[in-house]
Amino acid sequence: MSPTDAVRRHDRPRTAPEPALRPAAEPGSGVEISIWSRLFFDGKALVLRSRGFFGGRRERRYPLSGPQGISRAVLVLPDAETAGRVRGAGEVWLLDASGRPVARLLPYQWIPAGGLWLNFEEAVRRSGISALFAACGIPVVRTACDRADAPRAPWSQELALLLSPGPALRLWYQALRVALGGVWFLAFTVLYFSEARLPWLMLLAAVTAFLAPVARLTVRRVTALRNRSAARLGPPPLVEVSPCPGPPEEGGTVTTRRFASRAVLRVFPGELSVVDPYGAAFPEPSAKEARHAALFPHSIGTVNSTLVMIFSSGFSLWWAPVVRIASPAAAWTSVLLGLAGLLLQSAPCCWHHLRSRWHFERPVSWEGRSGQPHGPLRPEPPYTSPTAWKARTR
């Protein structure tokens, strides 16, 4: 019996039985993964909850019996050089009775927090993989990556066998962004270097440049909705602790409105949830880094995607006079699309940074000796904040 996908159209509140693996927490669109994704044993099979290509919540089952069932696990230890150079080196392979690979695990993907540079053995323990295999009754053997008995598979098969919680940034958005960028770059190259007056190619470049910020705004809206719906899947917290800062001491740290309104500690059955005001806690970013991280700013090769989008929309304005003689309608359409693209990029970015700088990053004010703050300390409920970062630990 091979693993099968079980896509649930209507998610309902469920709690994974312990022991269960929890993913490394991510900000933004990764909040849903930290709530939903789990790897656990339901009494008959290993069950993986993850995010699919189009962002749907899915389950895959890996039976422990039968000809294709999991019969043993192999811990492939990295050599000393690789372990010191590569973050998260080492992997866990799950094999069937005949020794064929059924699945593979990367332990660092399943450490909720604080496991950036753990050694492989400690990462296996901290992630809960050892406890999960013990509960399943899966025997564990160890080998080195350079030994002949170490499991191996082609790169494409390794990717397909990976038990991953899912991509933090939705794959459909990544694929769409790559496609739009490729089409725009091709049109730009032909237009600029050949100095061609091709109205249809100018329109193609303008449309792809306009669709890029539209896709970004769409994925942000979808992320906010999915994070809110994911927060309703689990059971309500047993205890919820919110910050209640007192008057600042002389020379001490100052409490910001962001911390007072968004940071929260919740106790759930079997786990502890920490919502950080900035979206990450290990290590804690600066306010400037947090503002940038909340907007998905980087593209391929760590290039700032906002600057790339601004340049592509600006090219629609710059090259429009060149094609105006051949087609005035195409030129004006390119101008309008370029202006709309610049507006869709600059307006949300300016609003986000100004709101963060002039509201959330300002200190909480207090009235002299009374100890009462000016205005409410919690202007926004932290439980539904789409950018909150949830670190799940036992």
pLDDT tens per residue, range 260-301: 877 888 887 777 777 776 543 333 334 454 455 545 444 544
Q: How many CA atoms lie within 13 A of 14 on its CB side?
A: 15
Rounded Cα distance, 93 and 103, in Å = 6
Specify the number of domains making up the chain: 2
Give tens-digit pLDDT for 166-180: 877 788 888 888 899
Rounded Cα distance, 100 and 71, in Å = 10
Last residue of a domain, one of 109, 134, 161: 161
Q: How many CB atoms sit inside 10 A of residue 304's CB?
A: 12
343 and 279 housed in the same domain:
yes
353 and 258 housed in the same domain:
yes
Rounded Cα distance, 82 and 205, in Å = 44
As a whole number, mean pLDDT of residues 95-110 equals 88
CA-based angle 258:289:184, to the nearest 5?
A: 120
Q: How many CB atoms sit inside 10 A of residue 177's CB?
A: 22
Q: Is residue 166 part of a domain?
A: no
pTM: 0.70
Say what the pLDDT of residue 356 is.
79
118 and 180 housed in the same domain:
no
Instruction: With beta carbons less than 8 A apart as the criterion, state whether 215 and 173 touch.
Output: yes
Range of 293's domain? 171-393
Q: Beta 389-393 vs 57-63: how paired, if at all? A: unpaired
Instruction: With beta carbons less than 8 A apart as the criterion, state whether 323 and 335 touch.
Output: no
Q: Give the closest residue to 234 by CA, choosing from 7, 15, 16, 6.
A: 15
End-to-end CA distance of the chain: 33
183 and 311 housed in the same domain:
yes
